[in-house]
A and B are shown apart, each in its own frame.
Chain A
Amino acid sequence: MTDATDKARVEKATRDGRRARTVVLRPMAPIVPQANVSGTALIVVIAIMSFLCCMTLGSVFMVQDTAKAWQGQISREITIQVMPQDGVDMETTLEAVRTSVLSFSGVSSARIIDRASTARLLEPWLGDDFNMDELPVPRLVVVTVDEGSPPDTSALREALAISAPQATLDDHRAWTGRLVAMARTTILVGVGILALMLSTTMLTVIFATRGAMAGNRHIIEVLHFVGAESGFIASQFQTRFLMIGLKGASVGGALAASVFLLLGVWQNASMATPLNDQATALFGRFQLGDGGYFGIVAVIALIAAMTTLTTRLTVIRTIEEIDRERANPSMAELE
C-alpha cells in the first residue's frame, strides 16, 4: 500500500456537513503481529541452535584443515638414517648420501642434521653431558620432496645401497597411512556430529515455529472467514517468520564466526606461548577459511528456509483442520 507507511493520514469529514475535522490514523499494522513473546522466544531458540550448528561446522572445517596439514607435512619429507660403521667416516658418508639424493628429480632439498642438532634430539633420553663419539649414534639426512612429482623411493633405496649400504630410507609411509586413516575418521566423526546437529536444529526450529504459530490460530481463522485465500494467509505468515528465522540464524551464525575470528586473533597475537602451543597442538589453527564462512551462510539460509517452509505448512494444515471441522461437525463440537 502506497500510503501505508505515512505517519499521519488526514481525512475531512465533510459528508454530513459538519465542521471539518482531521482524522489521524496510525500506520497500518501488519496482519501478523510483529512482536509477541513466542516470536522472541523463537528468535532466541533459532539463534542458539544456529550458533551451535555453525560452531560444529567450523570445528569440522578446522579438524579437516589440521589433518590435511599433518598429512602434508609428513608426506613432504623423507628421512635417511645413516648408521655408524667402523672405518667409515660418518661425515663423508652423510655428504655422499646427500649428493646422491639430490641427483634425483623430485627432491627439493636434502639437509644433514648436524652433530649439535642430533645431540639436542637425544638430550631428553641421554642428558646433555653425554659424548656422542662413545655411542653408535645414527645420523639423519632430511630430504624434502616435491609433492607434485615425488621421487621414485625404490630407485632412491637402490642408489643408497650402492653409495652408503649402512643408510636406510624412511618415507614415513606407515605414519602417513595412519594419519590419513585418523584424519578421515576424525572428519567422518565431525561430519556425523554436524549431521546430527543439523537434524536437531531443524527439528527444534520446526517444533519451535509450530509452537509460535499455535498462538496465531485465531488470526488464521479470522482471515479465513473474512475471505482470505490460503495463499494470501500463508504469504503473510511466511514473510513474518522468514524475518524471525533470518534474524535468529544470523545472530547465531555471526556469534559463531566472531568466536572463530577472536580465537584466530588471539592465536596470532600470542604465538610461542605455552597456552597457544597447547591449543594449537590440540585444535589446530582457528581459521575458518572461505569454505567455513560459506558454510555458516549456508546454515543461516537453511534455517531461515526451514522456518519459512514450516510456517507455510503449518498455515495450510491449520486451514485444512478448519475445513475438516466443517466437513465433520463432531470435530467442531469437540473444539
Chain B
Amino acid sequence: MIHFENVGLRYGMGPEVLRDMTFDIPKRSFQFLTGPSGAGKTTLMRLLFMSLQPTRGLIRMFDRDIASIGRDELPLLRRRIGIVFQDFRLLDHMTTYENVALPLRVRGKEESSYRSDVIELLKWVGLGERLNVLPPVLSGGEKQRVAIARALIDRPEVLLADEPTGNVDPPMAQRLLNLFIELNRLGTAVVIATHDLTLMDRVDARRMILSDGRLDIYD
C-alpha cells in the first residue's frame, strides 16, 4: 500500500536527515516507529502523510508515485489516511464533537448520517461527557483523544499517529492502543510513532527504529 525506495531527505543544503529509506507499509499491518529524539520520526511521518516530498528516492502511495500526484488529487488521497499530529491541530472555535466530525463535514456528508458515529467514538475514547467543550478548556490528554478520534472517524486505510499516547495516563494509553488494534483488525494499517517502550511491549508488532537518519526494521 505504501512503498519507500531509497528515499532521502535533506533540509536546504544541510546533511540528509533521512537516508536510504526502503520499506513497505502493507495493508492491514501494524507497526511502531521509534528512535531517539531528533532521529526524524516526525519527518518520516510527514513523508508518509505527503506533507513533505523527498529530496531523492521513490514513494508510492496507494499504487501511485507521489511525484506525479497533482495538487488537486492530494486532498482525495489524504482522505484515505488518518493522521494524529503531535500538536493535535484542533480548531479552537469548534467543540469536541465538531472537531471530530470535521473530516466527514468537509467530505460533504449530512450531519444526520454521522452524528451517532461521532458520539459513539467520543464515548469510546472517554469524552462522552465533553462533547460540547471547546479545545482550550480540554487537558492535553483530552485534546490528544479528540485528535485520535478525528483521525479515526472516517475509517482510514492507514492511520499515522505521532506520539498518540504521550499525554495520557497508562490506563487510557492501553485503551487507545486497544482502539488502534481494533481498527487494525477491521483492516486499517497502523503506524504509531512513539518513545514509549512499555506501549510497544504490549503488542507484538513490527518495529521500525530510526537512528542517525537510517531505518532498521524488526518484524
A and B together in one complex: yes
Asked if A230 and B72 make an inter-chain contact with CB atoms under 8 angstroms apart, the answer reads: yes
Q: Mark B145-168, 1 if CB is under 8 A from A, else 0.
A: 000001000000000000000000
Q: Which residues of chain B are near A227, meaning CB under 8 Å?
A: 75-76, 78-79, 103, 106-107
Distance between A80 CB and nearest chain B CB, rounded to angstroms: 79
Q: Mark B4-24, 1 if CB is under 8 A from A, else 0.
A: 000001111100000000000
A281 interface residue, CB < 8 Å from B?
Answer: no
Asked if A326 and B53 make an inter-chain contact with CB atoms under 8 angstroms apart, the answer reads: yes
Asked if B98 and A330 make an inter-chain contact with CB atoms under 8 angstroms apart, the answer reads: no
B202 interface residue, CB < 8 Å from A?
Answer: no
Measured in the bound complex, the distance between the Cα atoms of B111 and A4 in whole Å is 7
Residue of A219, A227, A327 ringed by the most chain B CB atoms within 10 A? A227
Residue in chain A with minimal CB distance to B43: A329
B139 interface residue, CB < 8 Å from A?
Answer: no
Answer whether A2 and B74 are a contact pair too, CB < 8 Å, given A326-B52, A332-B52.
no
A33 interface residue, CB < 8 Å from B?
Answer: yes
B123 interface residue, CB < 8 Å from A?
Answer: yes
Asked if A232 and B106 make an inter-chain contact with CB atoms under 8 angstroms apart, the answer reads: yes
Partner pick for A329 among B11, B49, B71, B85, CB 8 A cutoff: B11
Q: Which residues of chain A are near B101, meaning CB under 8 Å?
A: 28
Q: Mark B41-54, 1 if CB is under 8 A from A, else 0.
A: 00000100111110
Distance between A141 CB and nearest chain B CB, rounded to angstroms: 79
Asked if A222 and B115 make an inter-chain contact with CB atoms under 8 angstroms apart, the answer reads: no
Measured in the bound complex, the distance between the Cα atoms of B9 and A325 in whole Å is 13
B112-147: which have CB < 8 Å to A? 112, 115-116, 119-120, 123, 128, 131-132
Answer whether A225 and B51 are a contact pair too, CB < 8 Å, given A2-B110, A31-B105.
yes
| Among B29-37, B86-94, B186-194, B208-216, the stretch in contact with A | B86-94
Q: Which residues of chain A are near B71, meaning CB under 8 Å?
A: 230, 319-320, 323
Residue in chain A with minimal CB distance to B82: A226
A221 interface residue, CB < 8 Å from B?
Answer: yes
B177 interface residue, CB < 8 Å from A?
Answer: no
Answer whether A225 and B106 are a contact pair too, CB < 8 Å, given A323-B74, A326-B52.
no
Asked if B53 and A2 make an inter-chain contact with CB atoms under 8 angstroms apart, the answer reads: no
Q: Mark A209-243, 1 if CB is under 8 A from B, else 0.
A: 00000000011011111111110100000000000
Residue in chain A with minimal CB distance to B150: A226
Asked if B102 and A222 make an inter-chain contact with CB atoms under 8 angstroms apart, the answer reads: yes
Asked if A218 and B89 make an inter-chain contact with CB atoms under 8 angstroms apart, the answer reads: yes
Measured in the bound complex, the distance between the Cα atoms of B66 and A326 in whole Å is 11
B180 interface residue, CB < 8 Å from A?
Answer: no
Answer whether A226 and B103 are a contact pair too, CB < 8 Å, given A11-B116, A23-B131.
yes
Contacts across chains A and B counted by CB atoms under 8 Å: 107
Q: Which residues of chain A are near B49, meaning CB under 8 Å?
A: 225
Residue in chain A with minimal CB distance to B110: A1
Measured in the bound complex, the distance between the Cα atoms of B101 and A25 in whole Å is 12
A333 interface residue, CB < 8 Å from B?
Answer: yes
Residue in chain B with minimal CB distance to A223: B106
Asked if B97 and A25 make an inter-chain contact with CB atoms under 8 angstroms apart, the answer reads: yes
Asked if B115 and A221 make an inter-chain contact with CB atoms under 8 angstroms apart, the answer reads: no
A9 interface residue, CB < 8 Å from B?
Answer: yes
Q: Which residues of chain B are near A224, meaning CB under 8 Å?
A: 75
Distance between B103 CB and nearest chain A CB, rounded to angstroms: 4
B178 interface residue, CB < 8 Å from A?
Answer: no
Partner pick for A226 among B9, B46, B106, CB 8 A cutoff: B106
Distance between B79 CB and nearest chain A CB, rounded to angstroms: 4
Q: Which residues of chain B are near A232, meaning CB under 8 Å?
A: 106, 108
A3 interface residue, CB < 8 Å from B?
Answer: yes
Answer whether A15 and B120 are a contact pair too, CB < 8 Å, given A1-B110, A225-B51, A329-B11.
yes
A126 interface residue, CB < 8 Å from B?
Answer: no
Q: Which residues of chain A are near B102, meaning CB under 8 Å?
A: 31, 222-223, 226
Residue in chain A with minimal CB distance to B120: A15
Contact residues of A with B, CB < 8 Å?
1-4, 9, 11, 13, 15, 23-26, 28-29, 31, 33, 218-219, 221-230, 232, 319-320, 322-323, 325-330, 332-333
- Give me 17 other A-B pairs in contact (C-beta within 8 A), A3-B111, A227-B75 excluded: A15-B120, A25-B132, A28-B105, A29-B94, A226-B150, A227-B106, A229-B72, A229-B75, A229-B76, A229-B106, A326-B50, A329-B9, A329-B10, A329-B11, A329-B52, A332-B51, A332-B52
Closest 9 CB pairs of A and B: A330-B12, A227-B79, A228-B106, A33-B93, A333-B11, A226-B103, A1-B111, A227-B78, A229-B75
Contact residues of B with A, CB < 8 Å?
9-13, 46, 49-53, 55, 71-72, 74-76, 78-79, 83, 85, 89-91, 93-95, 97-98, 101-103, 105-108, 110-112, 115-116, 119-120, 123, 128, 131-132, 150
